Each structure stands twice: as C-alpha cells, then as structure tokens.
Amino acid sequence: MVNPLFDRLFGIHAGKATPFLHLLNGEVITHQDFLGMAAQIANVLAQTGLKPGDRVAAQVEKSPEALALYAACAQAGLIFLPLNTAYTADELTYFIENSGASVVICDARSEVTLAPIASGLGAGIETLNANGSGTLMDQAAAMPLSYATVDRDGDDLAAFLYTSGTTGRSKGAMLTQNNLLSNAETLAQEWRFTSDDVLLHALPIFHTHGLFVATNVTLAAGGSLIFMPKFDLDAVLQHMPQATSLMGVPTFYTRLLSDDRFTRELTQHMRLFVSGSAPLLAETHVQFEERTGHRILERYGMTETNMNTSNPFEGDRRAGTVGFPLPSVELKITDPASGETLSQGDVGQIEVRGPNVFKGYWQMPEKTAAELREDGFFITGDLGKIDGDGYVHIVGRNKDLIISGGYNIYPKEIELMLDDQPGVLESAVIGVPHPDFGETVLGVVIAEPGQSPDLDAMMEAVRQALARFKHPRQLILLDELPRNTMGKVQKNILRDQYKDMFAS
C-alpha cells in the first residue's frame, strides 16, 4: 500500500512505544497507541460506507481523539474538513453543503442543532466530546487496532480548509497529500526538529498552524507534543521546563511577557520559539529577547499554501520581516495591475509557487483562475517587498482582510449584519492595531436620517449570528464615511483615524 501522507507522517511510527502525546493529567499516549486509536476510527468511518475522496466535516474540541480523527481520514483516504469550534449553525450549514460532506462529527451539545442540518444535506452525524466520549469512540472501542491503509497518490486531496476574500462566500482551499507532506518535511529540516523535540502544543487543531504545521512537523521528526486543550498561561508556564519548543500566535508571547514568572531561567533549555498567523510587533521581539535571550522566529504562511517563508534557524532573525522563501518555494513581488515582476525593494503583491501551493478552490473555477495563475504562481493578496539582503517584508494587504489572534475575519460578512439592523444606513468594518491580538475589529456605523441605532442591540445581534472572534471590539456612530471621488469608501482613512484606539 502507498499513501504518502499517512505512510511518512504516521505509518513510520508503527510499533513504536515512544511518547507522542503528553496530556496535562499526566497520561502519555505512545505513537503505537495513537495509531491504534486512529485505526479504530478509520474502521468506523469505513463501516458507515465512506469511500476514498469523501469529505468528513469535524467541529470538535481539541483532544487526542480529535487528532486521531485526522490520522484516520489520512489512512482511509478521506478528505478532512476541520471547522472552527466558534462557528454558528448558519455558518456550518454553508460549509457542510458546499463541501458535500458525507458525515459531520460534532460535540454532543451541538447534535440537536446540527443533526437536522446534516440530515437535510444528506450527511450522517456522529459525536465526539472533549473528554473522548461520544458515538464515534463508542463504536471505535469495538473495532480492530489495525486498518488496511488506502492507496492514495500525492496529488490526491487530503483536506479542505475554508477561507475567503473580503467579499463573497467562503472558499474551500483544496490541499493535496503532497501540499501537506512537503511542507512538514521542509519545516522539520529548516527548524532542526528531531525525535528529541517536545513541542508545547497550545494551538487549536482546526487551523493550519496547529494542525498542518505544529502537529505535522512533530510527526515528521518523530518527536512528541505536550498537548494542551488551549492556551492557558499557568499551564504553559508549568510545563515549559519539559518542552524544547513552542509555536504560537503573537498573543501567546504578549501574555507570557505579561507574567513575572516567565524568566530567562524558565526558558534556558528551550531551543526554539516560533510565531505566525499574524504580524508580531517589533516591540514584542525586543522585549522577548531582553527577557529570555531568545529571538522569536517569525514565518509567513496562509491557508492556501501552508508556510511560504521563514526567518533562519541559524542566522539573523529580523524583527519586522518573515525571512526567506523556504527551499522549493519561489516568491516574487509583482505589479497588481500588470503582473510584471518588480525590482528588489519595490512594494507589490506577493506571489508564490511550490509544492506547498494548493490545488484550487472547491467548485469555484472562476475564483481559482483569478488567484492561481496557469504557471502555478498563487496571488496571495498580501503586499510586500524583498530587501537588499533577501528578507521578505509584509507591508499590508490589498484586500481588507483582518487577522486577529491568528484568525481570518472578513469585513463584508460583519458589514452585511450591521447594515441589516434597524436604523442603519451603512457600515464599514476595519481592523485596527491591538497589542494582544495584532489586530481587532472595529465597526463604523452610519445612521439613516432621523434614526438613532441601538448599538448594544446591534452587538447582541452579531453575537447571535457570528463566531466570537468576529465580534467588533466596539461600534462607533459617525455622520458619514470617507469616500474618494469615485464614491468608494476609503477604509485606509478610517484605519489611520482609529489606529491608536486600542494601543494601550
């Protein structure tokens, strides 16, 4: 049997009684036991009638069983669709319908809401709770600890991750086995991961960073994870002496720096701190090095490509940059209008090409053609430049995407909600700097003539309809929005006007 992703990330550990997951309760799950759990889940999925290429949508809390579900899908040749646990029923309906998921796996608390949705879309439903209970594992307990790995090609799809631009519906980025595997093996080599590494894993596993970077890199190297349900400052400080590395979003590092227990002595045995998913403030770089003696390694990636660039493991990790293109990844700066490559130092749109770049957007050929060139270069939507030493700088985005705490937030979705509220003429949603989350959401509202919108009621409506990470930090009532001569709202003026609103 040949299945590149499973064989080279999971299968190579078959029979190994070495630690893979260190849980906070002291339990240790070996590579061998983890593979047994994954095989049992794969048997359940196969028994329900799923076939290679079918989609498995999962909105579940982080747990060893949830991670084993990912491995099971890889082994059974199924396409894994991890979904943010904060998504509402309305949001999930779209993802399930668009992906054509054959089965939905959710927390038992969500089953009452999601069961009729799944049934109406022709999908089955199973439950998996944070403590490992639920119908999925009840069935798995009676299954064999082995499963005949399904043959897959490197170009076969392994996962869907949903993303989008600032307008329109979310897009399902189709990631192949080679996309995930090539990136994991490259990063393990570039960041010097070995079987001796113990990664402090406090990231969610419905996101590229926590699942396809942190987990896959550790698997590729044969290391282990201190597996935390979420980032908890006390727990991270308590377990750091047993770790060798940490991957996190900027929020992790600002919170560590806010605690006096985070000292040079606590980090002296650590060999690597990696940050991504959102820009890290230069001030955080400086404070971190002064406190610990370590320089954070910042890298650059996205849903459609996994990782594209990285500051060097050996060499100058420069604050304000994302380092150099990874081996086998080509990166160029082009003119947004013409597509022509620009001179070194000029600012333009970032395009990348390599084995990490996705196959396209699920059932959206027009969107794929607009962003993925025929020669394989992907138009990232980010603006950047390459300096005289070859370091890549991200200077902005040519779309209005907001990245807060590592999560992508699309203003149009929130604006549509706000515009629909009583007394509202129009709205504009922008991202403004935030010391903890990198950016946070600010909503600007224009009232209909003679009306006084209830801002509190509007916030409640948003809370009911959208995931928490999309909620505006504040709503502001203005008389009018700034516009150019063509009538287009100038969000850059709003961002500049309110850039210091949450600075302290």
Q: Order across the sheet with 124-127: list the strands.
A: 124-127, 103-106, 55-59, 79-82, 157-163, 171-176, 360-361
For every residue of 377-395, DSSP letters joined together read -EEEEEEEEE-TTS-EEEE
**275 Cβ neighbours under 8 A, 6+ residues apart:** 247, 248, 249, 250, 252, 253, 296, 297, 298, 299
What's the confidence (pLDDT) of residue 406? 86
For every residue of 157-218, DSSP letters joined together read EEEEEEE--SSSS-EEEEEEHHHHHHHHHHHHHHTT--TT-EEEE-S-SSSHIIIIIIIHHH
d(CA 139, CA 427): 49
Consecutive sets of 10 residues in the chain, 504 residues long: mean pLDDT of each? 92 95 97 98 97 97 98 98 91 94 96 94 96 97 97 97 67 97 97 98 93 97 97 96 95 92 96 88 88 96 95 94 96 92 92 97 94 95 91 79 82 85 90 91 92 93 92 94 67 90 80
Asked whether 97 and 69 are in contact (CB, 8 A), the reply is: no
CATH, range 4-152: 3.40.50.12780
Q: Where in the chain is the domain with CATH 3.40.50.12780?
A: 4-152
What's the confidence (pLDDT) of residue 485? 44
SS3 labels along 181-195: HHHHHHHHHHCCCCC
Q: What angle do CA 436, 180, 242 make, to 5 degrees?
A: 55
Strand 297-302 to 306-310 pairing: antiparallel
d(CA 402, CA 399): 9
What's the confidence (pLDDT) of residue 80? 98
Asked whether 321 and 391 are in contact (CB, 8 A), the reply is: yes
What's the confidence (pLDDT) of residue 401? 75
What's the confidence (pLDDT) of residue 356? 97
d(CA 501, CA 475): 12
Give the three-state DSSP class for 429: strand
* Cα→Cα distances 350→168, 279, 308, 355, 395, Å: 22, 16, 11, 17, 10
What's the confidence (pLDDT) of residue 165? 44
For the whole prediction, is pTM greater than 0.95? Answer: no
The architecture CATH gives domain 402-497 = 2-Layer Sandwich (3.30)
Q: Sign of the C-alpha dihedral, residues 44, 49, 51, 57?
A: negative
Amino acid at 373: R
Q: Where in the chain is the domain with CATH 3.30.300.30?
A: 402-497
What's the confidence (pLDDT) of residue 402? 84
Give the three-state DSSP class for 116: helix
